[in-house]
Structure 1
Amino acid sequence: MSEHYLPGDPPVRLVLRKSARARRYSLRVSRLDGRVTLTMPSHAPESKALQFAREKAAWVREKLTERPDEVIAELGAVLPVEGAWLTVAHGARGAVRLEEGRIEVSPRAASVPAAVAGVLKSLARDRLAADSDRFALALGRPYSRITLRDTRSRWGSCSADGALMYSWRLILAPPQVLSYVAAHEVAHLAHMNHGPRFWATVKRLWPEYEADRAWLRENGEALHRYRFGD
């Protein structure tokens, strides 16, 4: 990969990526971090690839303006939690607490965003563990452990030894979407693929999964707009 810039005010950083599988030039603008990637066939000249990018400069800038603004989880910020909008505010007590319409943070907290992330991660673990338990029981396939991460490329995974991994940001999605992801990963305990039998298992565990899967595809990237100082 190499780095270039599209001219303009301001210049746009462009990452040029060669691929043996690519058959044409393609541009991608990440909604997560605004990274612009130009993929090109490995045998094609870079000059033509960069000319292609310059011709698409207006499209690139339009896509960059469509990126949602970042929201820092500080006092006054409004965050989606399990389908409800909660405002980050100071609370009278020492611990971070979820109250009606609020995430209350102690005035003594060293970092408000980090404190908010802590309570959201704890809530996500509770919800995902509960869903994983009930789906694994229904399937008759136990899992070995659960871990939470802040992943960008996937919402969950299931390893060959039955270890489940989830993105804790699922707590920012509607609760039924979180449950769909849990059902999806638990179904992998029986089928380590995405074939017809796998999807039939997902449907048995979570019958309305299609709508929740579509929500995640349409809105999932926006969950990364919320920043917690990490």
Structure 2
Amino acid sequence: MKFLLRRATADLPVPDRLELAGGPLPVTVRRNPRAKRIILRLAPGGAGVVVTAPRSTPARTINEFLERHRGWVEGRLARIPASIAVVDGATLQLRGEAVSLVHRPDLRTSRFESGEAGGRLLIGGDARHFARRVADALKREARRDLEASVARHAASVGLQPRAITLKDTRSRWGSCTADRRLAFSWRIVMAPPAVLDYLAAHEVAHFREMNHGPGFWALCRDLCPEMDFGRDWLKRHGAQLHAIDFTPR
């Protein structure tokens, strides 16, 4: 796979996508006045390339940076886990534990069951809506867990969120605006509870520290002593959550 960056010149802007052998890969460039150097990362699930650069960085410099790190990107793409279809009989994670998906057309609503053989998520209704109903069930669980965790951490900092929104974002697991509006990827409910709690603590810490400086990380650690575990787990296993495909079959 090769990036089409060989003809980069001082006048050539950074492309909005990179044409690879496996198809185009979107490019997002973020100009950050606080950035001291160029940082490159792959969006969760290999959805694109994200470049963070100082505001004054020329496009030519960014293009050359991408070309120098082509091998790194190719290696990361190769490590992305294969997608897992959400179908009857499949297994996914809920709060870090394996849950079997079972279609029960006679049921009017979905429900979770636990037993000696492990957990099961029973999904009712038409088979055509199976994947969507699984996603809906996970979203309900995610909202319950996130609202509880956010409420606990918000009480610690003495500030309440204006709103909590669930999304299916790939570029980030959570976000916080200056007016304390929180957004989370609902897929986080599939991770172990300590990981979800770290994510909630991370965003609530922004209520006091709208940055990622030493003060922010100190507050985040006070809110969530298992912060290191949560950060490491997302780096190592986060892509697996994005590999679960909720496309109707």
1:142 to 160, 166, 170: 160
1:132 corresponds in structure 2 to 150
1:157 to 163, 175, 189: 175
Please give the secondary structure, in 2, of the residue aligned with 1:32.
helix
Q: 1:190 to 1:60 in 2, by over 3 A?
A: closer
1:97 corresponds in structure 2 to 111
Q: 1:106-121 maps to which residues of 2 (within 5 A)?
A: 106-108=124-126, 110-121=128-139
* 1:70–1:225 contact (8 Å) kept in structure 2: yes
Q: Which structure 1 segments of 5+ residues have no match?
A: none
2:81 corresponds in structure 1 to 68
Q: 1:12 to 1:27 in 2, by over 3 A?
A: farther
Q: How much is the aligned-residue C-alpha RMSD, in angstroms?
A: 3.7
Deviates more, 1:168-177 or 1:61-70: 61-70
Q: 1:98 to 1:60 in 2, by over 3 A?
A: same
2:23 corresponds in structure 1 to 13
Q: CA deviation at 1:193?
A: 1.0
Letter in 1 for 2:247: G
* 1:13–1:35 contact (8 Å) kept in structure 2: no
Deviates more, 1:175-184 or 1:105-114: 105-114
Question: How many Å separate the matches in 2 of 1:127 and 1:194?
Answer: 25
* 2:205–2:216 contact (8 Å) kept in structure 1: yes
Deviates more, 1:156-165 or 1:113-122: 156-165
Matched, 1:210 2:228: yes
1:200 corresponds in structure 2 to 218
Deviates more, 1:26-35 or 1:72-81: 26-35
Q: Which structure 2 segments of 5+ residues have no match?
A: 1-14, 32-38, 52-57
Q: In percent, how many aligned pairs have the same letter?
A: 38
Q: 1:201 to 1:74 in 2, by over 3 A?
A: same
Question: How many Å separate the matches in 2 of 1:27 and 1:210?
Answer: 22
* 2:95–2:192 contact (8 Å) kept in structure 1: yes
Q: CA deviation at 1:93?
A: 2.5
Question: How many Å separate the matches in 2 of 1:160 and 1:194?
Answer: 14
Question: How many Å separate the matches in 2 of 1:204 and 1:163?
Answer: 21
1:85 corresponds in structure 2 to 98
1:59-107 CA deviation, whole Å, 9 max, x = no partner? 8776554331111111111101101111110235321111111110114
Q: CA deviation at 1:194?
A: 1.2
Please give the secondary structure, in 1, of the residue aligned with 2:45.
coil
Q: 1:201 to 1:95 in 2, by over 3 A?
A: same
Question: How many Å separate the matches in 1 of 2:244 and 2:143?
Answer: 18
Report the count of equivalent residues: 219
Question: How many Å separate the matches in 1 of 2:211 and 2:17?
Answer: 36
Normalising to structure 1: TM-score of the pair?
Answer: 0.78
Please give the secondary structure, in 2, of the residue aligned with 1:113.
helix
Q: CA deviation at 1:159?
A: 0.8
2:201 corresponds in structure 1 to 183
1:156-197 CA deviation, whole Å, 9 max, x = no partner? 111111111111010111111000000111111111111111
1:16-53 CA deviation, whole Å, 9 max, x = no partner? 9798x9xxxx9977662476899xx7448x9x99xx79
Question: How many Å separate the matches in 1 of 2:149 and 2:216?
Answer: 18
Please give the secondary structure, in 2, of the residue aligned with 1:198.
helix
